[in-house]
Amino acid sequence: MACPLCRGTGWRPALDGVVRCSCRSRAEPAPPCLPGIFDQGPAAQPPAGGSSYRAGVASSEGDALVDRLARLFKARPDEWIDGLELGKVAGSYAWRSRVSDLRKDPFNLTIENRVRRVTLATGRRVTVSEYRYVSRS
């Protein structure tokens, strides 16, 4: 499915449940060829007789936020993702801790970080923090 604005095929799942092209145009519903990163799995349950760091971060949909973040990275391998987008998926106050959790057992994902200074059209300089999952294929 080509983007109606730029005719490109850079469609990616977006945080609002639709898909977006790199030119920022939207497609609703998502093309069937794109896997849904928002598919909900079973609710996070603490193990019997104890607690888990995953039990404390369940989203309102019942899915552990760290699992949602893992699915986002796996759906977009080798692609830089802005920290603001990660915060919308994994919680705006603890998404960096969840990225750290993804680097350890049981996930063991290779996730890189880069920081850039960019100048907006208004002349204001901002810092952009981006992360990417490096696939092992």
Predicted confidence at residue 69, as pLDDT, reads: 94
Residue 20 banded pLDDT, cuts 50, 70, 90: low
Helix axes 95-102, 65-75, angle to 10 degrees: 70
| Res 37 pLDDT > 80 | no
The count of other CB atoms within 10 Å of the CB of residue 126 is 10
**pLDDT top residue among 79 and 8:** 79
The count of other CB atoms within 10 Å of the CB of residue 86 is 22
Here the tokens at position 124 are: 């204001």
Task: Report which of 101, 130, 102 is spatially closest to residue 116, judged by C-alpha positions.
Answer: 130
pTM score > 0.85 for this model? no
Task: Report which of 16, 7, 11 is spatially closest to residue 34, judged by C-alpha positions.
Answer: 11
Task: Dump pLDDT digits (tens) for 109-127.
Answer: 999 999 999 999 999 999 9
Task: Dump pLDDT digits (tens) for 45-64.
Answer: 434 443 334 434 454 554 68
Q: Which amino acid is at 14?
A: A
Establish whether the linkage from the previous residue to 106 is cis, with ω within 30° of 0.
yes
Task: Report which of 71, 68, 73, 42 is spatially closest to residue 57, judged by C-alpha positions.
Answer: 68
**pLDDT top residue among 58 and 133:** 133
Predicted confidence at residue 88, as pLDDT, reads: 92
**For 4-8, 40-44, 77-81, 127-131, which range has the lowest pLDDT when averaged over its residues?**
40-44
| Euclidean distance between CA atoms 125 and 10, whole angstroms | 28
Predicted confidence at residue 39, as pLDDT, reads: 46
